[in-house]
Amino acid sequence: MLLKYFYDEKLAQASYLVGCVATGEALVVDPARHVTPYLAAAEKEGLRITHVTETHIHADFVSGSRELAAATGATIYLSDMGDADWKYAYADDPNVLLVRDGDSWKVGNVKIDVLHTPGHTPEHIAFQITDTAGADKPIGIFTGDFLFVGDVGRPDLLEEAAGLVGTKEVGARQQFATVERFKKLPDYLQIWPGHGAGSACGKALGAIPSTTLGYEKLFNPAFQWDEEEPFVEWLLADQPEAPTYFAQMKKVNKVGPALLRSLPSPTNFDRSTLDGIIEDGGQVFDLRNRGQFAANHAPGTVNVPADNTGLATYMGWLVDYERPVYVLLPSIDSEREILRDLRSIGIDYVPGYFSPDVLTHRTQALPVVTARELAKRLPQNGLLIVDVRGKTEYTEKHIVGARHIPLGYLARQLESLPKDRTIVTQCASGYRSQIAASLLQAAGFDNAISLNEGEECWTRFLPTEQGS
């Protein structure tokens, strides 16, 4: 048996290729939409990708199952364990097979057993792997978003992101039952999770790529509870903000993502087109770095620097999926990579882009301030600091008097902010604060300023406190 690990740092997402060297067949588990790495790895190892599967209807990225099957002719194996609201709409496609708890199939000599693992989502399944060529017991389990290194998948995503009231407690109780089931499995089993540190699918994911079930039984907090009620209370507490685009991802992956070859290629537009789009209220994102945008940018654009691994995540927070999205590239040769990042979270409606050379006239600056300078100005009446970090970060430590509005919710709270006051946005590094300040400026807040330094600076020069 051959096992290959693929990891997208931008999405903190893991996927896997399992091959049978004897027969040349291979299975890919939880593929991302950009399928070239799987095709290249299979070719290098002399394998044919004959099977594709996924653990659940993903909420944080666009699944590549359909894309990979279209490229290889592979059969797709999908969960049939959810109720009517958790069924795949493309399950009737001729190359799709539905599987349930207890089902199994083989990829050459590699046996895959299906385990229903509800909790993160009702239809969630895991795949237990046995290399029958040399063993009669399983070697490990692909656990998807059920079990991570040091954590388990959160059950509250749809309630928090899409307002489906009542689903998170049900999911938490299902997660308890799933953990209890895994407590009875052998300690030696290897665990191959679907995400690592940085993913919003849990609250404390470890950065190590894999683990063992025995280790998780000893040190994972989820395995330390023997009663359901305290487990549910623990699991639902202190979860990070659920990105609003997760609801869109659920919809896309349930219906079935469009094949990339069916999407139109974006056009390289000129400055007059940029001006017209902005005048019509279109959404244009400037992806250049913070310094470049602060120095000069087209009025009405929002800065989401592409030189940060969080590009896709923050774009997902900010875009309106029902409207076209335009981007100003950091460089003309970055088009392919940027487009791949956007499409990884379903931003498919991208009619065109702009190169940096369109910024030859009608530009403006974004004011920035250092922590030392802000400390001198803070006693001024009318200055408002807006902390755009997550709630956990804010609770641990924040500037005294700062108002807390997480970046992903800022656009929905613009009417609550005063346009006649100077607003200073602030975060842990300066990255989110600049996005926030550019969003405010584009929305008509002429006095928006970004604190362009991180926590190590503002804790030195400004008074801080703990608590919510």
**Banded model confidence at residue 452, pLDDT cuts 50, 70, 90:** very high
Distance CA 154, CA 169 (A): 10
**Banded model confidence at residue 468, pLDDT cuts 50, 70, 90:** confident
| Residue 164 confidence (pLDDT) | 73
Distance CA 303, CA 54 (A): 34
Distance CA 47, CA 363 (A): 53
Strands 352-354 and 25-29: unpaired
DSSP letter string over 408-422?
HHHGGGGGGS-TTSE
| Residue 85 confidence (pLDDT) | 83
| Residue 83 confidence (pLDDT) | 87
The type of residue at 246 is F
Given a contact cutoff of 8 angstroms between Cβ atoms, the answer to whether 249 and 256 are in contact is no
133 pLDDT above the threshold of 90 = yes
Report which of 395, 151, 168, 360 is spatially closest to residue 272, judged by C-alpha positions.
Answer: 360
398, 426, 432, 275: CA torsion to nearest 10: 160
Distance CA 127, CA 177 (A): 17
List b or e across 367-396, with b for residues whose CB sees 16 or more CB atoms inside 10 angstroms.
bbbebeebbeebeeeebebbbbbbeebbee
380 pLDDT above the threshold of 80 = no
The more confident residue out of 85 and 433 is: 433
| Residue 291 confidence (pLDDT) | 96
- Structural domains in the chain, sorted by start: 2-255 (3.60.15.10), 263-358 (3.40.250.10), 368-465 (3.40.250.10)
Cα 235 versus chain centre, distance: 20
Report the pLDDT averaged over residues 288-311: 96
H or E stretch including 337? helix 335-344
Strands 140-144 and 125-131: antiparallel
Report which of 321, 327, 344 is spatially closest to residue 269, judged by C-alpha positions.
Answer: 327
173 pLDDT above the threshold of 70 = yes
Report which of 49, 2, 4, 1 is spatially closest to residue 25, judged by C-alpha positions.
Answer: 49
Distances (CA, A) of 250 to 88, 96, 274: 10, 19, 32
Q: What is the pLDDT of residues 50-102, one digit of tens each?
A: 999 999 999 999 999 999 999 999 999 999 998 888 899 999 999 999 999 99
The structure's pTM equals: 0.94
**Banded model confidence at residue 160, pLDDT cuts 50, 70, 90:** confident
pLDDT above 90 covers what percent of the chain? 90
The more confident residue out of 365 and 467 is: 365
Q: What does pLDDT average to over the chain?
A: 95
**Banded model confidence at residue 162, pLDDT cuts 50, 70, 90:** low
The type of residue at 108 is G
| Residue 285 confidence (pLDDT) | 98
Report the pLDDT averaged over residues 318-328: 96
